[in-house]
A and B are shown apart, each in its own frame.
Chain A
Amino acid sequence: MKVRQISIFMENRAGRLSEVMQLVGDSGVNIRALSLADTSDFGILRLIVNDVDKALGALRKAGHTVSVTDVVAVEVPDRPGGLAGILVPLSADGVNVEYMYAFVEKATDKAVVIFRFEDADAALKTLKTVGISVLSAETVASL
């Protein structure tokens, strides 16, 4: 139950983010979640969208450097300690998190956390064992 995430290489200069957003918007793709990691020179923009292939097509056509990474979307109870309840068993099983970012679902009392694991399959196994639900790509796209 992995979700495809788009990463975009971006130079750290004024207006660049809005240009990319414009491009994705113009292609009729809706962004479900995003995160931006940056340095003084460049940044990596990560997007979860409702139509990965359409977004990829538009970005590549415009000459952007993109890549697709499998991430895992986990529903986290929106209460104190919610995230810790997920991280603790993962850590106990020695599963490393490369990076993560969260967004709050509109119509529920849950938050969604996007995880990039070093080993997604190992992570999925642990999550399944401890009974934590993982969202499918379709579910994420329709959030």
Chain B
Amino acid sequence: MMNQASTVNYWDSAHECMPVAELRELQLERLQKTVKTLWNKVPYYRQKMKALGVTPSDIRSLQDVQKLPFTTKEDLRLSYPYQAFAVPMEKVVRIHASSGTTGKSTVVGYTRRDMDNWSDLVARFLVAGGLTSQDIVHIAFGYGLFTGGFGLHYGAEKVGASVIPVSSGRSERQIQIMQDFGSTALVCTPSYAIYLAEIMQNMGVKASDLKLRLGFFGGEFWSHLMRKEIQEHLKIVATDNYGLSEVMGPGVSGECIQQEGMHIFEDHFLVELIDPSTGAPADPQKGGELVITTLTKEAIPVVRYRTRDLCAFLPNPCPCGRTFVRMSKISGRSDDMLIIRGVNVFPSQIEEVLLGIKGIMPHYQLVVSRDGALDNLEVHVEVSEGFFFDEMKKQQEFARAIEHKLENVVGVRARIKLVEPKTIERSEGKAKRVVDLRKLT
């Protein structure tokens, strides 16, 4: 056996391999500071703490984090746009927002120090996954409010790699650029990587025609099977990384070349696993909902943010020498959020659109499938008398209106299929809202 440790590269070994006892001390110190900041600067969270009768001085150990109230996506939505900010706007140098209903997305800000930390953490997982300053990084994430594009961009620049900000779309051009520019690392969603491999095949471009050697994929859930497929087709080492804009963006955790779970950057994030129904601690190895407390965020510190992502923590230290706990791939959601072509979609958003059309709610069902590598969303809508027009033109306009509004509000294109009443499956009188035909595990 080759000694893995000798081939491991670190971006910041002082922190990544920190003795656990020291790490816990650092976490406690940072947790106390974060809670104090929230108490002093963010009224909504102070109210939540008061309601539970907790004050910053009650936080004496890391376990005491459990005394603190959770933060939910709804809390952040209600703080739209800037109420969750703990610093004045003059300190904010960047603003991003997560996908969500228009006017209800969650807006996040970054101070200069936040930006510095963010790019550092992205650099950590890029280096852990094999990136060096020699690499040419092809970023096919969309650049915009979404944190993926810019997050990876600044991290890769920090590593010293040559970054090509290709952004998303125009797949044939993407492949042309990879060929002509000699891209060695690909950054996108895993499903887009599979899609690109298919387009390459159609174009007659072989993996050996490209210089790609690494892939950093995130933004959606993907299975080990998908990894195998991507690695075989593109002849690359593909690693997974995780993050969400509410706590920062990509860079919360990432895999090393062992490809055995994502190291959570615990010096910046305190993590818990809870039982999503009770909020009580879950057995870390059995898994539960990931709850994250930011330890260094200045612009928007969040305490006990309920990610709704389900995962487990892996036991035993990783052979790579990093001391941070590793999380498994995300196995699902504790709510009904779907990720469709990298966009977060909640059935509640679709309900809002449907309700908005005629003021009454039709029965509906979301049917998600995968056509090749791309996700397809069909919304089946039962046509009851309130949605029935005797004229074909109006009936079709009704369907088009839903399609149009969904694309505007939710940000994904969906096909509306009008179906007869009582044809959508109901279990115990409740309609089954989501049918996911994608095989992701």
Which residues of A pack against B, CB within 8 Å? 5, 7, 9-11, 37, 39, 41-42, 44, 46, 63-67, 69, 98-99, 116
Chain B residues positioned under 8 Å from A66 (CB to CB):
385, 388
List, sorted by A's number, 28 A–B pairs whose CB atoms are closer than 8 Å. A5-B390, A7-B388, A9-B388, A9-B395, A9-B418, A11-B420, A39-B392, A41-B417, A42-B383, A42-B395, A42-B418, A42-B419, A44-B390, A44-B392, A46-B390, A63-B421, A64-B420, A64-B421, A65-B383, A65-B385, A65-B388, A65-B420, A66-B385, A67-B385, A67-B388, A67-B389, A98-B393, A116-B390
Is A41 a contact partner of B421 (Cβ separation < 8 A)? Answer: no
Is A98 a contact partner of B391 (Cβ separation < 8 A)? Answer: yes
Nearest CB on A from B138, distance (A): 39
Chain A residues positioned under 8 Å from B390 (CB to CB):
5, 7, 44, 46, 67, 69, 116
Closest 10 CB pairs of A and B: A7-B390, A69-B390, A37-B392, A9-B383, A65-B388, A42-B418, A11-B420, A63-B422, A9-B388, A65-B383
Nearest CB on A from B241, distance (A): 40
Chain B residues positioned under 8 Å from A44 (CB to CB):
390-392, 395
Beyond A7-B390, A65-B388, A98-B391, whether A39 also contacts B396 by CB under 8 A is: yes
- 0/1 string, B383-418, CB within 8 A of A gives 1: 111011111110110000000000000000000011
A5 CA to B423 CA in the complex, in Å?
25
Beyond A65-B383, A65-B384, A67-B390, whether A11 also contacts B395 by CB under 8 A is: no
A42 CA to B418 CA in the complex, in Å?
7
Q: A63: nearest residue on chain B (CB-CB)?
A: B422
Nearest CB on A from B395, distance (A): 7
B389, B393, B418: the one contacting A41 at CB < 8 Å is: B418
Q: A40: nearest residue on chain B (CB-CB)?
A: B417
Q: B419: nearest residue on chain A (CB-CB)?
A: A11
New A-B pairs, 14, CB < 8 Å, besides A9-B388, A66-B385: A7-B388, A7-B390, A11-B418, A11-B423, A39-B396, A41-B418, A42-B418, A44-B391, A46-B390, A63-B422, A64-B420, A65-B421, A67-B385, A69-B390
A116 CA to B392 CA in the complex, in Å?
12
Chain B residues positioned under 8 Å from A42 (CB to CB):
383, 395, 418-419
Chain B residues positioned under 8 Å from A63 (CB to CB):
420-422
A131 CA to B384 CA in the complex, in Å?
40
A9 CA to B386 CA in the complex, in Å?
12
Chain B residues positioned under 8 Å from A9 (CB to CB):
383, 388, 395, 418, 420
Chain B residues positioned under 8 Å from A7 (CB to CB):
388, 390
Beyond A9-B383, A42-B383, A66-B385, whether A99 also contacts B391 by CB under 8 A is: yes
Chain A residues positioned under 8 Å from B395 (CB to CB):
9, 42, 44
Nearest CB on A from B287, distance (A): 41
Chain A residues positioned under 8 Å from B388 (CB to CB):
7, 9, 65-67
Chain B residues positioned under 8 Å from A116 (CB to CB):
390-391
A7 CA to B389 CA in the complex, in Å?
9
Chain A residues positioned under 8 Å from B417 (CB to CB):
41
A66 CA to B417 CA in the complex, in Å?
18
Nearest CB on B from A14, distance (A): 14
Chain A residues positioned under 8 Å from B422 (CB to CB):
63
Is A10 a contact partner of B420 (Cβ separation < 8 A)? Answer: yes
Q: B417: nearest residue on chain A (CB-CB)?
A: A41
Chain B residues positioned under 8 Å from A37 (CB to CB):
392
A13 CA to B156 CA in the complex, in Å?
53
A66 CA to B385 CA in the complex, in Å?
6
Nearest CB on B from A82, distance (A): 25
Q: A5: nearest residue on chain B (CB-CB)?
A: B390
Chain B residues positioned under 8 Å from A69 (CB to CB):
390
A29 CA to B395 CA in the complex, in Å?
27
Nearest CB on A from B394, distance (A): 9
A67 CA to B421 CA in the complex, in Å?
14
Interface centre among B396, B418, B422 (most CB of A within 10 A): B418
Nearest CB on A from B424, distance (A): 12
Q: A66: nearest residue on chain B (CB-CB)?
A: B385
Q: B420: nearest residue on chain A (CB-CB)?
A: A11
Chain B residues positioned under 8 Å from A46 (CB to CB):
390
